[in-house]
């Protein structure tokens, strides 16, 4: 089936944290990765696992501890500021965390912590664009679209396979 880059397709991805829903465009670029296919705004789109094969394979390899850096074409939709924040998130190494304050500094505006937090929370491509690697300045886990238990599990997975212990505050 021929598809335009504006077409959207979905594919479920089984993971240890539940079934995710990958949303890809007509060329296979990842548009979104949702945590819960049952509540995803994209769940009514046409399924196409063939177009999403690379995404499925890499997400499953990530959860198996075999992949530390995703090599996927991405097509997130957001404001120019959000896109800048999401690009910066991709620079946080596997198994490491930074604070919102540090993320704001890296984006070029150290006083924009709240705006950076909102952009981080609006990230449509969970795990691949690793917003889970951003924590509070005091080491505390802070908001996460997939829930704090998933954030904790993702950080623990990366700590286990990277050998880098994640330092979190006891809350």
| DSSP code, position 124 | S
> Residue 170: what pLDDT?
47
CATH topology of domain 80-162: Arc Repressor Mutant, subunit A (1.10.10)
With contact defined as beta carbons under 8 Å apart, do 84 and 64 qualify? no
Give the H/E segment covering residue 11. Answer: strand 8-15
Q: Which of 55, 131, 135, 141 is catalytic?
A: 131
Would you tell me how many other CB atoms lie within 10 Å of the CB of residue 52?
22
- Give the whole-number percent of the chain exceeding pLDDT 90: 76
Domain assignments of the chain as residue spans, ordered by start: 8-63, 80-162
Model confidence over 113-148: pLDDT tens digits?
A: 999 999 999 999 999 999 999 999 888 888 888 889
131 noted as active-site residue: yes
For tokens 């530390």, what's the residue?
Answer: 68
pTM: 0.91
With a CB cutoff of 8 Å and minimum separation 6, the contacts of 162 are 68, 94, 95, 96
> What's the mean pLDDT when you consider all of the chain?
91
Q: Where are the alpha helices (DSSP H) in the chain?
A: 53-63, 80-89, 100-107, 113-121, 148-162
pLDDT in tens, 28-69: 999 999 887 666 788 788 999 999 999 999 999 999 999 999
Backbone φ, ψ for residue 123 (5° rounding): -55, 120
- Gap between the terminal Cα atoms of the chain: 51
Query: Tokens at residue 168, please?
Result: 């979190």
């Amino acid at each position: 089936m021929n598809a335009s880059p504006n077409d959207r397709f979905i594919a479920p991805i089984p993971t240890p944290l539940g079934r995710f829903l990958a949303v890809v465009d007509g060329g296979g670029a990842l548009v979104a990765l949702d945590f819960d296919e049952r509540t995803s705004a994209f769940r009514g789109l046409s399924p196409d696992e063939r177009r999403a094969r690379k995404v499925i394979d890499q997400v499953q390899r990530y959860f198996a501890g075999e992949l530390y850096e995703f090599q996927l074409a991405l097509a997130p939709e957001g404001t120019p500021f959000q896109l800048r924040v999401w690009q910066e998130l991709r620079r946080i190494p596997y198994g490491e965390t930074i604070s919102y304050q540090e993320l704001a500094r890296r984006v070029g505006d150290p006083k924009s912590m709240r705006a950076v937090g909102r952009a981080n929370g609006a990230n449509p491509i969970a795990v691949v664009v690793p917003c889970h690697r951003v924590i509070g300045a005091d080491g505390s886990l802070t908001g996460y679209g997939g829930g704090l238990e998933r954030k904790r599990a993702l950080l623990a997975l990366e700590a286990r396979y990277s050998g880098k212990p994640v330092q979190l505050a006891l809350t």
